[in-house]
Amino acid sequence: MSMAVNPKPPEKMMFQLTLRRRGISDQAVLRTMEEVPREVFVEPRDRDDAYRDSALAIPCGQTISQPFVVAYMTERLQLHKDHRVLEIGTGSGYQAAILSRLCKHVLTIERYRTLADSARKRLEGLGYYNVEVLLGDGFDVPAGAGDFDRIIVTAAMEQIPDKLLQRLEPGGILIAPVGPHQGAQTLVRAVRTETGFERKDLVDVRFVPALPGVAREM
């Protein structure tokens, strides 16, 4: 007598298949993308579309990145379990949630109070206690936060500030979308070496702009 097994929802099956077809091969990243419930991080009206490979709108004029971009950026960070990671641009908290399952600690900085508060609540509700959500300016990371093994920027910067690069530990990796605020940017990967920084352009992307300061409203 065979036992009935509930199949995965079709959209979850396509979600994983799409990531693999587009070149994501790191098994830890794929497993984490499978386990973190993306539907919790989108607006209620968009939950039926949570696993489509597209960006979705969230409050304050921001977006949650498409799954492939989240997986791609995460894979290129080459995370280890003992890493401290800085994220600039918390948004809904989805990228931080993915990072948290693959490293020791995540400090994520958000300039909109509404987003910071809701992301903190979501992450705590899921038991992702190794994430610290900070309301602040991603262009002015508090000195007391120390340095980081990895830095990920999830909003477009016209150029990577040198003082952000200087927060990388030796051998550390930074990934950020770099380019004009209006139009496409290039995802850039910078590695801190003994003599400076090795920079490599990866793929074209499109992110909302990274803006200095803490937003006065929202």
Instruction: Compute the Cα dihedral for 187, 170, 101, 10 and give only its sign.
Output: positive
Is 65 in the active site?
yes
Q: How far is CA 23 from CA 17, 86, 142, in A?
A: 10, 25, 36
Q: Can you tell me whether residue 36 is helix, strand or coil?
A: coil
Burial of 131 (0-12, 13-18, 19+ CB in 10 A): buried
Q: How far apart are CA 66 and CA 71, in angstroms?
A: 9
Given 2, 25, 54, 65, which residue is catalytic?
A: 65
Burial pattern 149-175, b for ≥16 Cβ within 10 A else e, equals bbbbbbbbbeebbeebbebbeeebbbb
Q: How far apart are CA 170 and CA 101, in angstroms?
A: 23
Q: 207: which 2 tokens?
A: 């992110």
Q: For residue 63, how far is the Cα from the chain centroid?
A: 11
Q: Can you tell me whether residue 143 is helix, strand or coil?
A: helix
Q: Which residues are catalytic?
A: 65
